[in-house]
Amino acid sequence: MADEEATATVGRRWRLLGYGLLTAAGAYALGEAWRLGLWRQGSPGEGLFPFLTALGMTGFAALCLGAALREPEAAAQARPPAELRAMLLRIGAYLAALLFYAVAFDPLGFVISTIATVVFILRFAERYAWTTTIALAAGTAAGCHLLFVYWLQAILPTGYLWDNLLY
């Protein structure tokens, strides 16, 4: 099927609203990250990584907003209920994983909470095979640990659980 013949699954008005909200949220996050400080005493400040993330999010959302403003209004195509339900469950799985990560970060520590979150997302939301899931989760945790702890010398939480078991 050619691109010209395809119909949008979401109306233009909803895309404009979504991209506009993402752009506004990104702009707010940029301001908050700037307020935290980008660089302190020769090392990254608390706001550097949130600033870079917000910068990427704001830039991509603004580009998508511009593209949505230039395209003509197209009739929205209704999704079958089963497809809509699967999509909502997948979004819910991502939100649950991110909520778990935020709650488990301090008690379980960076490594364990990162592995658990990546395993959940890859295996249950994305349906990857177990071998691929475990390899990617371990690689993600190890790579992030090397990046943040050894290269950037950031202090990541080891977790209350591990601190109490070791002492």
Domain boundaries in the chain?
A: 1-78, 80-167
Residue with tokens 């895309």: 15
Determine which of 16-20, 87-91, 157-161 has the lowest per-residue pLDDT on average.
157-161
Cα–Cα distance, 11 to 23 (Å, whole number): 18
- Tell me if the pTM is above 0.75: no
pLDDT for 9 equals 61
Residue 141 scores a pLDDT above 50: yes
Q: How many helices (H) and strands (E) does the chain have?
A: 6, 2
Cα–Cα dist 112/122, whole Å:
15
Q: In the prediction, which pLDDT does 15 show? A: 83
pLDDT given at position 134: 95
Containing H/E element for 126?
none
pLDDT at 116 over 90: yes
Q: How far apart are CA 165 and CA 2, in angstroms?
A: 60
Which tokens sit at 49? 């990584």
